[in-house]
């Protein structure tokens, strides 16, 4: 039976795996996200769950404010309640995504 793992898990820990006798399994990683339209990008931030709570308080008010301010779509992984580090997805033009990262990370550090 094949176990599903997140791309981040596979890439973060691949260097730690030791395979006896050259029996490494053959697998390849694929993205299920559709390709970004020309000029747009997908990015991911990883935040601690306490930091994500600030974004989702009051019916995601802060997240919506950041989206409006940066013109970047921000999504939070559905599994955010289950894991200590959460994935925050950003989608938009490169400069908007970079601005959204600055706004989110700046807010977390203040």
57-95: pLDDT as tens digits: 888 888 899 999 999 999 887 764 666 778 888 999 999
pLDDT of residue 69: 94
In a domain, 41, yes or no: yes
Mean pLDDT of the chain: 78
- How many domains are there within the chain? 1
Domain with 84 in it: what CATH number? 3.30.1370.10
In a domain, 3, yes or no: no
Of residues 94 and 20, more confidence is placed in: 94
Q: Which pLDDT value is given to residue 96?
A: 96
Q: Does residue 8 lie in a domain region?
A: no
In-domain check, residue 96: yes
Is 14 contained in some domain? no
- Residue 47: strand pairing partners: 86
pLDDT for the residue 41: 92
Query: What is the value of pTM for the model shown?
Result: 0.65
Q: Which domain holds residue 45?
A: 33-109
In a domain, 92, yes or no: yes
**Whole-angstrom distance between the N-terminal and C-terminal Cα of the chain?**
46
């Amino acid at each position: 039976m094949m176990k599903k793992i997140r791309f981040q898990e596979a890439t973060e820990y691949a260097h730690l795996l030791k395979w006896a006798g050259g029996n490494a399994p053959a697998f390849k990683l694929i993205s299920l996200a559709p390709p970004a339209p020309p000029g747009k990008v997908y990015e991911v931030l990883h935040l601690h769950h306490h930091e994500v709570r600030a974004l989702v308080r009051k019916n995601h008010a802060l997240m919506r404010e950041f989206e409006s301010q940066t013109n970047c779509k921000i999504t939070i992984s559905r599994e955010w309640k289950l894991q200590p580090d959460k994935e925050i997805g950003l989608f938009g033009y490169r400069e908007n995504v970079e601005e959204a990262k600055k706004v989110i990370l700046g807010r977390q550090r203040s």
